[in-house]
Amino acid sequence: MFVVSGVATDNRAIGELAGLAVGATVLLNVLFAGPISGASMNPARTLGPAVVVGRYTGIWVYFAGPIAGTVTGAWAYNLIRFTDKPLREITRTSSFLSSARRN
């Protein structure tokens, strides 16, 4: 949700690259989470096999995880985005970024 908010809904973003950014995010999720969990990003896709097999242990993770991740990503993006200052001014006043730049 963080990437979607950043490239698809922000009027400062380059809209033509939104599909590429979202697709790359899905690709990275599949590459890194695939071997661990099967990379099921869609709860409905997880529910189907669980219903057929009749085993529902741990399925709550596939419903709670995307919801929690979406809410957290949207919250984090809105926290970062709700400023009228340009990025140069934010990085100039941030103690962490200014100390990292000096090193």
Report residue 42 as tokens. 């869609």
Say what the pTM is: 0.56
Q: What is the distance between the alpha carbons of residues 70 and 74, in angstroms, rounded to a whole number?
A: 6
pLDDT tier, 98 (very low <50, low <70, confident <90, very high otherwise):
very low
Note the helical H segments in 38-86: 43-53, 60-81
Where do the domains of the chain lie, and which CATH numbers do they carry? 2-102 (1.20.1080.10)
Which residues are within 8 A (CB) of 21 and not within 5 positions of it... i.e. 6 or more apart? 3, 6, 7
pLDDT tier, 94 (very low <50, low <70, confident <90, very high otherwise):
low
C-beta separation of 73 from 5 below 8 A:
yes
**Per-residue pLDDT reduced to its tens digit, 26-80:** 888 888 877 877 767 778 888 888 899 998 888 888 888 888 988 888 888 777 7
